[in-house]
Amino acid sequence: MSEDKIRCDACPVMCYIAPGRAGACDRYANHAGALVRLDPLTVIDGGAPLVPFLGRDWDGDIVQGARPIVERPFVTAIGAGTTYPDYKPAPFIVSQMVGDADMITVVTEGIFSYCGVKVKIDTDRHIGAERAIVRVQGEPIGHVMTGEYGSKMLSLGGVDHLTGGSKAEGRVTCDALLRLCNREPVEMTIDAGVTIIVQAGQAPIIGGVTEKLMRVGCGSATIGMFALQWAPHVDEVIVVDDHITGVLTEHEAGKQLNMKPAGLRVTGRRSTPGRYFQVAGHGTGWGGTDVTDPLSVIKRIDPKVAWPGLRLLMISTTGEQWAYFELDADLVPQVAPIPDALRAIAERIADTCEPSLCSVLFMGGAGGSLRAGVTANPVGLTRSVKQALTRVTVGGAQSYVWPGGGITVMADVMDMPGNAFGYVPTPALVAPIEFTMRREDYAALGGHTDRIVPVSEVLSDGIRRVRRP
């Protein structure tokens, strides 16, 4: 071992780093015999003029999320460094007067083996069955969760994928989580499902096609919203949907508008009047079904109820697919020119839909050893958080703290500055986390009060500053 190498103790890997080289995480380096942090400490400005970082122009990074407690510079944990092997106080424990209150913010980059992301994908397209495995480069990194209204959900990462499988699985999982949290695109395949590219803040790309719209509602909800507009111009509307297909004249909305029964019966299982489940299989067709021909969902047409000339509109829950028919003398639907009024309503449905988007929420357990960097009595921090005396942020972003034991946090990566996350090849993510409280509360929970420094000693031209909009 060269005498010029120094040993880094910022994570369990304990790299020996040669002069001019970085460790395995690319976060620490040997600079002339000194261990240095390569990423700058990041401060969110409270509207003050920006200070150039290392002589370069501001890179345009803007924090989109919730504002810090007040209009003031907020020292994040991005670039702060870790407390590993965890007996050391946090790298920065900063004091700042906010009105009459002396506030303390403790910042540290936590090494999270217990972490993952929850991904919300706004689309009607079927991406895979619930519980289907999600893979990157062939390695399992998570699974499909229960769907939500107009969205598909993924649960990715977690300690079992990071540490419980093969080395390749852990490495690929960590890399995918890092890229997702840093708002980079990740291509995934879902068993017996689709290939999808997910990137926070961007529309999903499914099977090579960029999604555009999130559904306005299920088939029944769409009827509820637009029944009054349809009623004067059409005799029946069927809204094709993977979950709840709606039939206007059977629906309570159609009945209250005194619409005449049309006699069209759709496939699937009837739930309540005008609402049908399981009209077709899952897919990437109309309303998230496998339907390409909308007439295929019509089971039969009752000749005792229907009539020649009956006007029928079939439409999807995003308004992207629609077809207009009129029944001929044999009560067979025939394609007909759509009236301008119905076309306008179809366009209105599409206009009412929100853009399709991918949302990535980091989720990690901060109830472990990183608490020692805040206080000599770790449970004191947990209790202070649960009592709402301590506010937890992740890279300056507002977080949701789950109930129950420990400090399990969840935060939107779009609310954080760019490149907020790092990794260590154990493998684990390195995520910023900040704890803010009054000085008296910090002292009461046994905090490292002898390490408190005023914010003025932290702010300098050598830090990275980002601005809130």
Q: How wide is the angle at C-alpha 232 spanned by C-alphas 229 and 238, nearest 5°?
A: 65
Model confidence, pTM: 0.88
Q: First vs last Cα of the chain: how many Å apart?
A: 50
User: Which pLDDT belongs to residue 416?
Assistant: 92
pLDDT at 139: 98
Contact 437, 391 (CB under 8 A): yes
Residue 417 is given by DSSP the state -
Question: What tokens does 185 get?
Answer: 């695109």
pLDDT of 60 reads: 54
Identify the pLDDT of residue 79.
87
Helices 340-352 and 219-230 cross at an angle (nearest 10°) of 140
Distance, CA of 385 to CA of 375 (rounded, Å): 13
pLDDT at 62: 58
Peptide bond into 427 cis (omega under 30): yes
Q: How far is 266 from 297, CA to CA, in rounded Å? A: 5
pLDDT at 69: 46
In b/e form, how buried is each residue of 42-57, taking b as 16+ CB within 10 angstroms? bbbbeeeeeeebeeee
Count Cβ neighbours within 10 Å for each residue of 141-156 and write b for 16 or more, e otherwise.
bbbbbebeebbbbbbb
Question: How far is Cα 38 from Cα 19, in angstroms, rounded to an integer?
Answer: 14
Taking only the tens of pLDDT, the chain with its 469 residues reads 567 888 887 788 888 888 888 888 887 888 888 877 777 788 877 544 433 333 344 455 656 654 544 457 888 989 888 888 878 899 899 999 888 889 999 999 999 999 999 999 999 899 999 999 999 999 999 999 999 988 999 999 999 999 999 999 999 999 999 999 999 999 999 999 999 999 999 999 999 999 999 999 999 999 999 999 999 999 999 999 999 999 999 999 999 999 999 999 999 999 999 999 999 999 889 999 999 999 999 999 999 999 999 999 999 999 999 999 999 999 999 999 999 999 999 999 999 999 999 999 999 999 888 899 999 899 999 999 999 999 999 999 999 999 999 999 999 999 999 889 999 998 999 999 999 999 999 999 999 999 999 988 888 777 777 766 6
pLDDT for the residue numbered 359: 98
Cα torsion angle, 365, 368, 374, 379, sign = positive
Strands 311-316 and 236-240, sheet pairing: parallel
Coil, helix or strand for 422?
A: strand
Quick check: helix, strand or coil at residue 384?
A: helix
pLDDT, position 469: 60
Residue 248 CB coordination number (10 Å): 28
- Please report the DSSP string for 165-193 in residue order: S-HHHHHHHHHHHHHHHTT--EEEEETTS
Tokens, residue 284:
């990437």
Whether 218 contacts 130, CB under 8 Å: no
- Residues β-bridged to residue 272: 275
Looking at the DSSP assignment, which residues form a beta bridge with residue 412?
361
Report the pLDDT value the prediction gives residue 47, as an integer from 0 to 100: 45
What residue type is assigned to position 244 of the chain? I
Percent helix / strand / coil, the chain, rounded to 5 = 20, 35, 45
